[in-house]
Amino acid sequence: MLWKNKKQQTIKNILRFGLITFIFVSMIFLVSAYSQDKFKLKTGARGKLCLNCHVTFTDILKKSFVHTPVKTGECSVCHNPHASSYGKMLSDDTGKVCLKCHSQLISENARSVHKVALEGNCSLCHDPHASNNKFNLLKSGNELCFGCHKDINESVVKAKFKHPPVDKGCVSCHNPHASNKGVFLLKDTLPSLCLQCHKTDKPSFMNQHMNYPVAKANCSTCHNPHGSDKGGILFNNVHKPVSSKMCNQCHEEPTSQNPFRVKKVGFELCRGCHSNMVNNIFNKNRLHWPLLSKKGCLSCHSPHATTQNMLLKAPMITLCSECHSDTIKRQERSQTKHPPIQEGNCTVCHTPHADNNPFLFNNASIIDLCGTCHEWQKHSSHPIGEKFIDPRNKNLTVQCLSCHRSHGTENKYFIHFPTISELCTQCHVQFRR
């Protein structure tokens, strides 16, 4: 009886396996039949037919990882054999062709998406036919990522203190296509991602962090995950209280109910140490108002550590354009570029905290300000200065900004009018035609 049951079970399993195989083979047959039928190809005239002309593919097919449609000879899954409006005789835009099969790579709820994937430039990372690297990648490991992310490569190579997962591969922490959880394609939120390796309850860890419960904090406000020249891979520019482990200079004690709460709000906290600077600011007529907002100094500065000088949160041009995007865009549109802006050095002309001059210019005289770089213009130029009244407005004198707009215009030499003659005849009306 028992033997009979076993036999029946085996037959059932064979039938089940047979049925699954049949369905699978039928599907492959149907797909190939469809693509054959679509172009009315002769029986067997699939990839083989293409290879008659595309002879180099014989070598490509020998590579370790071959894209499935190439392997099965389904060239027409991606290419149109007769005519196409897209490059490489593709049947659609590059990205769209890939998405026909790989539509699940970027979820609708993605928190961050790799720009390359979003724009459908899959072939920047993958070889659509074959490769000797897994996933048909053009290069193996970090070499591929560093092809574009050169600045990160540079900092990784230079870093005195390395973060081991970086050497293991960027994909240790990042998803290459999109992440549903983290920013910057991180596989998880911070600190959850870091806590997968770092044990926060170890005495040495707690000691390093002055017993503050950093397991709930964002590690990347202090640490550079790609490595750094500072011990503990802190960002290269560290706020002194952090480097001297004086967290309680700004924060409540680690044993308190709210250990991360700061002792004072906004600029009042920073004033404790930077009193001269704050007092100097308050002696000026014009303030950079974000300084007095609730965020205070943290509107622009990082309180812990950063890659930027002066503990700026981001490179100056990026930081300033967060609020003054119109000004930065004007420069981008301008035919002639003003080097200090192009180089992202806004403080060549502006004082970031406070000054007595409009636009927080660091010089009361526009002519002297421009003259710091354009020195010759001060003595061999159109008459400018306090003695020369602007004919358009009796309350203004002629100076550099009478003709130029320092952040650029749509005209050459960032003049206010399309032609030189139009500019000059604004004042010299007698020469107007």
Interface residues with another protein (CB under 8 A)?
265-266, 268, 284-287, 289-290, 292-294, 322-327, 330, 358, 390, 392-396, 426
Contacts of 229 (CB under 8 A, 6+ apart): 158, 159, 160, 161, 236
By DSSP bridging, strand 178-179 and strand 112-113 are: antiparallel
The Cβ-side half-sphere exposure at 253, using a 13 Å CA radius, reads 2
> What's the burial of 87, exposed, middle or buried (CB within 10 Å: 0-12/13-18/19+)?
exposed
**Least distance from C-beta 308 to another protein, angstroms?**
20
Q: In the complex with another protein, which residue's Cβ is closer, 141 or 290? A: 290
Handedness of CA 79, 84, 90, 93 (dihedral sign): negative
Complex with another protein: residue 124 or 292, whichever CB lies closer: 292
**Contact call for residues 75 and 50 (beta carbons, < 8 A):** yes
28: left (phi over 0), alpha (psi -120 to 50) or beta: alpha
The least CB distance from residue 409 to another protein, in Å, is 10
In angstroms, what is the minimal distance from the CB of 327 to another protein?
6
Cβ of residue 49: shortest distance to another protein, in angstroms? 53
Neighbouring C-beta atoms of residue 223, cutoff 10 Å: 19
Shortest Cβ distance from residue 341 to another protein (Å)? Answer: 14
Query: Residue 317 is inside which H or E element, if any?
Result: helix 316-323
Nearer Cβ to another protein (20/429): 429
Q: Among 370, 373, 431, 432, which residue's Cα sits nearest to residue 402? A: 370
Which parts of 9-131 are beta strand (E)? 65-66, 112-113, 130-131
Q: How far is the CB of 298 from another protein (least distance, A)?
A: 13
Which is closer to another protein, CB of 60 or CB of 262? 262
Question: What is the smallest separation between the CB atom of 264 and another protein, expressed in angstroms?
Answer: 9
Nearer to another protein, 308 or 402 (CB): 402
Amino acid at 166: V
Shortest Å, Cβ 429 to another protein: 11
Nearer to another protein, 242 or 354 (CB): 354
Write the DSSP assignment of 164-177 as a string of letters: HHHHH-GGGTB-SS
Distance CA 371, CA 380 (A): 11
**Nearest CB to another protein, comparing residues 258 and 395:** 395
Peptide bond into 418 cis (omega under 30): no
Do 219 and 194 touch, CB atoms closer than 8 A? yes
Closest distance between another protein and the C-beta of residue 144, in Å? 36
Complex with another protein: residue 235 or 267, whichever CB lies closer: 267
For another protein, the closer CB: 204 or 395: 395
